[in-house]
Structure 1
Amino acid sequence: MPYGYFQLVRFLALAGFSFLAYKANDEDKSEQVFIYIALALLFQPFYKIALGRELWNIVDVVVGVGLLISIFIKNKKIK
Structure 2
Amino acid sequence: MRMINNQFIIKIGLTIFLLLCLFNMPYGFYQFVRFFALIGFAILAYQSYQQSKEIEMSIYISLALLFQPFFKIALGRELWNIVDVVVGIGLIISIFMNRKTTDNK
Give the TM-score normalised by the residue count of structure 2. Answer: 0.73
Unaligned runs of 5+ in 2: 1-24
1:65 paired residue number: 89
Q: Give CA-to-partner distance per residue, 1:17-51, whole Å, 9 cap, x none.
A: 00000000001111111110000000011111001
- Aligned-pair CA distance for 1:3: 1.1
Unaligned runs of 5+ in 1: none
Q: Distance in 1 between matches of 2:38 and 2:30?
A: 12
Matched, 1:21 2:42: no
Counterpart of 1:39 in 2: which secondary structure?
helix
The alignment-based identity, stated in percent, is 65
Size of the aligned set, in residue pairs, is: 79
Counterpart of 2:70 in 1: which secondary structure?
coil
RMSD: 0.7
Counterpart of 1:55 in 2: which secondary structure?
helix
- Aligned-pair CA distance for 1:78: 1.5
Give the TM-score normalised by the residue count of structure 1. Answer: 0.95
